[in-house]
Amino acid sequence: MTPDHRKDAPSPHGPPTPTVASSWRTVARALRPRLSRAQLTAGVLSALLGFALVVQVQANRDVGLAGLRQDELVRILDEVTQRSDELEREAADLRRERSELVTGSDTQRAAQEAAEERAVVQGILAGTLPAEGPGIELTLTEPQGKIPAHVLYNVLEELRNAGAEAIQLNDVRVTASTYVIETEDGVEVDGRVLEAPYRWRVIGDPGTLTTALDIPGGALASVRNASGRTNVTTPDLVEVEAIKEARVPEHATPVPPESTD
Amino acid sequence: MIAVLGLLVGAAVGLLLEPTVPSVLQPYLPIAVVAALDALFGGLRALLDGTFNDRVFLVSFLSNVVVAALIVFLGDQLGVGTQLSTAVVVVLGIRIFSNAAAIRRHLFRA
Residues 6+ apart with CB under 8 A from A223: A140, A147, A151, A155, A230
Pairing of strands A135-141, A229-233: antiparallel
Q: What's the pLDDT score for residue A218?
A: 80
Position B95 confidence tier, pLDDT thresholds 50, 70, 90: very high
Chain-centre distance of CA B17, in angstroms? 22
Residue B79 forms part of a structural domain: yes
The verdict on a CB contact (< 8 Å) between B57 and A42 is yes
pLDDT at B39 over 80: yes
Residue B5 forms part of a structural domain: no
Q: How big is the CA angle at A230 (ends A229 and A235), to the nearest 5 degrees?
A: 150
The verdict on a CB contact (< 8 Å) between A47 and B6 is yes
Q: How far is A43 from chain B (nearest CA, A)?
A: 4
Q: What's the pLDDT score for residue A261?
A: 57
Neighbours of B14 (CB within 10 A): 20
- A186 within 8 A of A146, measured Cβ to Cβ: yes
Q: What's the pLDDT score for residue A9?
A: 42
CA distances from A93 to A83, A84, A89, A226 (A): 15, 14, 6, 78
- Phi and psi at residue A17, in whole multiples of 5°? -75, 120
Taking CA atoms, what residue in B is nearest to A51?
A: B10
pLDDT tens track, chain A, 261 positions? 444 444 444 444 445 556 777 778 877 777 777 777 777 888 888 888 888 888 888 777 766 676 677 788 899 999 999 999 999 999 999 999 999 998 888 888 899 999 999 888 888 888 888 888 898 888 888 887 778 888 888 888 888 888 888 888 888 888 888 888 888 888 888 888 888 788 888 998 888 888 888 888 887 888 888 788 888 888 888 888 888 887 788 888 888 877 665
Identity of residue B9: V
The sign one gets for the Cα dihedral B62, B63, B69, B73 is positive
Task: Specify the 3-state DSSP secondary structure of A149.
Answer: helix
Domain limits, chain A: 20-58, 68-126, 131-240
- A70 within 8 A of B83, measured Cβ to Cβ: no
pLDDT at B103 over 70: yes
Q: Choose the mutation target among B1, B2, B9, B23 for the interface with A, i.e. most A CBs under 10 Å.
A: B2
E strand residue ranges, chain A: 131-133, 135-141, 166-169, 172-174, 180-182, 187-189, 192-194, 198-203, 229-233, 238-240
Q: What's the pLDDT score for residue A63?
A: 62
Q: What's the pLDDT score for residue A260?
A: 60
Position B80 confidence tier, pLDDT thresholds 50, 70, 90: confident
Say if B39 is an interface residue toward chain A (CB within 8 Å).
Answer: yes
Q: Which of B57, B36, B62 is nearest to B45 (CA)?
A: B57
- A158 within 8 A of A246, measured Cβ to Cβ: no
Say if B61 is an interface residue toward chain A (CB within 8 Å).
Answer: yes
What is the architecture of the domain spanning A131-240? 2-Layer Sandwich (3.30)
Identity of residue B93: G
Task: Specify the 3-state DSSP secondary structure of A174.
Answer: strand
Residue B39 forms part of a structural domain: yes
Residue A47 CA to residue B93 CA, distance in Å, equals: 21
Say if B105 is an interface residue toward chain A (CB within 8 Å).
Answer: no
Residue B3 forms part of a structural domain: no
Q: Choose the mutation target among A26, A44, A51 for the interface with B, i.e. most B CBs under 10 Å.
A: A51
Residues 6+ apart with CB under 8 A from A71: B79, B81, B82
Residue B51 forms part of a structural domain: yes
ipTM of the complex: 0.81
Q: Which residues in chain B are closer than 8 Å to A48, comparing Cβ atoms? A: 10, 36
Q: What's the pLDDT score for residue A95?
A: 95
Residue B13 forms part of a structural domain: no
Residue B10 forms part of a structural domain: no
E strand residue ranges, chain B: none
Residue B87 forms part of a structural domain: yes
The verdict on a CB contact (< 8 Å) between A45 and B29 is no
Domain that holds residue B81: 22-108
